[in-house]
Amino acid sequence: MATFFLFLFVLSHALCFSEAKVKGPVTYLWPLPAEFTSGNETLSVDPELSLVFGGKGGNSDIVRLAFDRYKAIIFKNSNGVSGLDRLRPREPSYDISKVRVVVHSESEELQLGVDESYTLFVLKKDGKAIVGEATIEANTVYGALRGLETFSQLCTFDYGSKSTQVHKAPWNIRDKPRFAYRGLLLDTSRHYLPIDVIKQVIESMSYAKLNVLHWHVIDRESFPLEVPTFPKLWEGSYSQWERYTVEDAYEIVNFAKIRGINVMAEVDVPGHATSWGAGYPALWPSSSCKEPLDVSQKFTFDVLSGILTDLRKIFPFELFHLGGDEVNTTCWEATPHVNKWLKQQNMTTKDAYQYFVLKAQEIAISKNWTPVNWEETFNTFPTKLNPKTVVHNWLGGGVCPKAVDQGFRCIFSNQGVWYLDHLDVPWEDTYNAEPLEGIHDPSKQKLVLGGEVCMWGETADPSNVQQTIWPRAAAAAERLWSRREATSGRNSNVTALPRLHYFRCLLNRRGVQAAPVSNFYARSPPTGAGSCYVQ
């Protein structure tokens, strides 16, 4: 029923949109809620909208801060700083004057699988309801955050009456995500991203209901993060200013948490680690052959263990990414002391790769982390990986089906569709990529935690990172949040494109540099003058 309604609704507006002249009210939600019904009333929303708490967890700072953020978003147009309220027509009363947020649990723990479900009702004051209000009910504060986001998308500024309105009320929304893990990778090694930029990305993630920031903090090019136990490591940063203190990292984790977003840090070993040796050259096999990390030295694992000990204090999320991709072992063979060690241990380089990855897993697990590894580890020694391992797909399709067949959990990031640095991937390829493809057994489907779009940073810096992320990350976000049936129709140009145009413009309106939707290359400039809603 909800889906049926949706199709009619979208169809009836798609043609209008092509002329950039939408007449009459429309309400476009992104990502689509699991179930919803709506009506035909237009309600006015009080600019003095107030928050009413309910439930054990309603009186939470997280809810209060979110309400303030969303109120600023909803009333952008009425929110003058120049004392101009007198210029506005005052309405004697509004249909919606309160948002009631009822949260049943007082726990604010944010872990994988946290309950993000919510219901949202928006009703006019009438015989039944004494006051008109929006009611959000959720088991956790994080569900309440998702409900507030949806409510903010229901509110539109009407330029005719100069008031904020909810069209198509009453709304009755029952929503929850399809996947527990809905991630975005940021790479701060290829280009340093200042804290403010990372915060901008996190804030925008919350608009699309993404919930994991995969912070690929270090790589071969630079090591920007402070590690107190090994204080020379961040000598591998690009410059004295392109660094993150421990406090910066805490702040990012907290900024994300209060938006319902976990931060999964990555320490990619044993490859992708040249920068480690700027401070500690002993980590290189030799000064002329710098990667992978020297597998033959105890010091290497002492440093790794030190890093993980320090990071454990910062990153409470149960998942921790250990990388393990693209390991070229030539340096191990070519460096005499490492080669000698390999022979002593009776190891091939492939054995040594496995040895390194498993040892890193042990360290992470000993710190109560669940290890995530890029798929090469699974492709190379599937039966040796710790059973807790989450396999992170990237090379192509078909990996998650194999991983879940062997009982591993999996994250989908097929580079052909979900690597955002692949600029020639159109939004619909991102949208139509299905993490469960090839997995039919429901018990195995459950092992797919979700997916992640990856914003590798070689050509993305603070000037263009948001422009490269959006709007395609939103396409993946709906795939991961909304019901499979609702996102798997044949004609996404009708069922999704008008809403995606609208969401892109919503991001722009909120100050996010989301690029035109329909350019052949992502993040290209608009090809000429025109409306946001069709470009």
Residues numbered 172 to 231 that lie near a copy of itself (CB under 8 A) are: 189-192, 194-197, 199-200, 221-222, 226
Map the footprint of a copy of itself across residues 19-58, applying CB under 8 A. 20-23
- Among 54, 382, 397, 462, which residue sits at the site for a copy of itself (rule: CB under 8 A)? 462
- Which residues are registered as beta bridge partners of 45? 96, 164
Query: Site for a copy of itself (CB under 8 A): which residue of 153, 361, 373, 467?
Result: 467
* Least distance from a copy of itself to the Cβ atom of residue 464, Å: 5
Q: Select 2 or 246, whichever has its Cβ closest to a copy of itself.
A: 246
Q: Which of these segments, 4-12, 106-114, 485-493, 510-518, binds a copy of itself (CB under 8 A)?
A: 510-518
- Candidate residues 328, 458, 493, 521; the one interacting with a copy of itself per rule CB under 8 A: 458
Q: Which of 308, 321, 304 is nearest to 372 (CA)?
A: 321
Q: Across the strands, what pairs with 321?
A: 266, 372
- Min CB(291)–a copy of itself separation in Å: 15
User: Would you call 326 a catalytic residue per the annotation?
Assistant: yes
Among 35, 46, 108, 248, binds a copy of itself (CB under 8 A): 248
The single residue of 35, 235, 242, 326 carrying the catalytic annotation is: 326
Q: Which of 156, 329, 389, 518 binds a copy of itself (CB under 8 A)?
A: 156
Based on CB atoms, which residue is closest to a copy of itself, 8 or 87?
A: 87
Q: Give the binding range for a copy of itself (CB under 8 A) out of 73-81, 134-142, 439-447, 479-487.
A: 73-81
Residue with tokens 């040594």, as numbered in its chain: 352
Q: Convert 189-205 into a string of H (helix), E (strand) and C (coil).
A: CCCCCCHHHHHHHHHHH
Q: Tell me how long the chain is.
A: 535
The residue among 388 and 509 lying less far from a copy of itself, judged by its C-beta, is 509
Q: In whole angstroms, what is the distance from residue 100 CA to residue 54 CA?
A: 7
Q: 6-23 in b/e burial notation, b at 16+ Cβ within 10 A?
A: beebbeebbeebeeeeee
Min dist. Cβ of residue 104 to a copy of itself (A): 26
Q: Using the rule CB under 8 A, is 466 a contact of a copy of itself? A: yes
Query: For residues 76-135, which are near a copy of itself according to CB under 8 A?
Result: 76-82, 84, 87-88
Binding letters toward a copy of itself, positions 513-532, x by CB under 8 A? xxxx------x-xxxxxxxx
The structure tokens listed for 51 are 């928050």
Question: Of the candidates 179, 151, 374, 143, which has an alpha carbon nearest to the alpha carbon of residue 270?
Answer: 374
Rounded Cα distance between 480 and 431, Å, is 9
- What does the block give as tokens for 273? 């680690």
> Is 18 an interacting residue with respect to a copy of itself (CB under 8 A)?
no
φ/ψ region of 6 (left if φ > 0, alpha if ψ in -120 to 50, else beta) reads alpha
Angstrom distances, CA of residue 273 to CA of 5, 190, 220, 363: 52, 12, 4, 18
Cβ proximity to a copy of itself, 146 vs 272, nearer residue: 272
**Contact region with a copy of itself (CB under 8 A), list: 36-44, 123-131, 248-256, 350-358:** 248-256
Angle at 282 between CA 362 and CA 374, to 5 degrees: 40
Residues with a catalytic annotation lie at 326
